[in-house]
Amino acid sequence: MVHIGKRLKKAYKSVDLEKIYALEEAVKLVKANATAKFDETIEIAMNLNIDSRKTDQNVRGVVQLPNGTGKNYRVAVFAKGPKADEALKAGADIVGAEDLMEKIQAGDMPFERCIATPDMMGLVGRVGKILGPRGLMPNPKLGTVTMDVAQAIAAVKGGQVEYRTEKGGIVHSGIGKASFQEKALIENISAYIDAVQKARPSGIKGAYVKKMTLTSTMGAGIRFEIPA
């Protein structure tokens, strides 16, 4: 039997599980229920009408949240020469080539995002089996394989969020902190939803978004409607 703590039980009492709330009301509730001693992450989950087993229905992309995520991401960059210098000046936490590859092979991975210049992808491919399952593999479609490493670093550290389909057709991401103002959270949520909506596969028939839920790290899930 799954144990439900007192805080979560209290949160569930304040939420009507049958109701689909307006976004503004859902944000108020999720903030009110985020009572842990740390600044809880606010997360969104979208259940999509897709078959994640089909490659042409995989939804994946990035979105720049207007108010950031409230989290400081450590960034590793595969680059050499002037591009390595550019990455360091732009605020990369780790920059390297063969030495960075060896760190990763040894399990030393003190970073949450990875960027690479195109000429480094042969090297990156040698640790692809390590980076890929962790969602860290640089990808040109996500802007993480690029010659403009300074811009890519700025995007990540400025609040860029990746979304991608998981099992059951769900995409979910952290979109802010409980300490954020309601307006800031609403703006971030709206930007995220808009990006996922625009990534709709062309072969989908009928409703694309089946359900959306907002929650905090320790809080109850709150269903809400797509904002107009």
To which H or E segment does residue 64 belong? strand 60-64
Note the pLDDT tens digit of each residue in 78-103: 999 999 999 999 999 999 999 999 99
What would the two tokens of residue 87 be? Answer: 């990455």
* Residue 22 CB coordination number (10 Å): 13
Classify domain 6-69+160-223 at the CATH superfamily level. Answer: Ribosomal protein L1/L10, rRNA-binding domain (3.30.190.20)
Q: Find the distance separating the first CA and the last CA of the chain, reported in whole Å.
A: 40
Answer whether residue 8 shows pLDDT above 60: no
Per-residue model confidence (pLDDT) at position 75 = 97
Q: Residue 7 in contact with residue 217, Cβ under 8 Å?
A: no
Per-residue model confidence (pLDDT) at position 83 = 98
Answer whether residue 1 shows pLDDT above 60: no
Per-residue model confidence (pLDDT) at position 9 = 58
DSSP string, 127-163: GHHHHGGGT----GGGT-B-S-HHHHHHHHHTTEEEE
Per-residue model confidence (pLDDT) at position 137 = 96
Note the pLDDT tens digit of each residue in 140-168: 988 999 999 999 999 999 889 989 888 88
**Cα–Cα distance for residue pair 182/175, rounded to 1 Å:** 12
Per-residue model confidence (pLDDT) at position 14 = 66
- Burial class from Cβ neighbours inside 10 Å (0-12, 13-18, 19+) for residue 51 reads middle
Note the pLDDT tens digit of each residue in 20-71: 999 999 999 999 999 889 999 999 999 999 987 888 888 989 999 999 999 8
Per-residue model confidence (pLDDT) at position 43 = 96
Which residues are CB-contacts of 146 (< 8 A; sequence separation ≥ 6)? 115, 117, 118, 140, 152
Amino acid, res. 193: I
Q: Domain-by-domain residue ranges, the chain?
A: 6-69+160-223, 75-157
Please tell me which residue, 165 or 6, carries the higher pLDDT value: 165
Weakest-pLDDT range from 47-56, 75-84, 115-124, 183-192: 47-56
- Which band of pLDDT confidence, cut at 50, 70 and 90, is reported for residue 3? very low
What secondary structure letter does DSSP report for 40? P
Q: Does domain 75-157 have CATH number 3.40.50.790?
A: yes
Which residues are CB-contacts of 125 (< 8 A; sequence separation ≥ 6)? none
Question: Sign (positive/negative) of CA torsion 128, 130, 133, 139?
Answer: negative
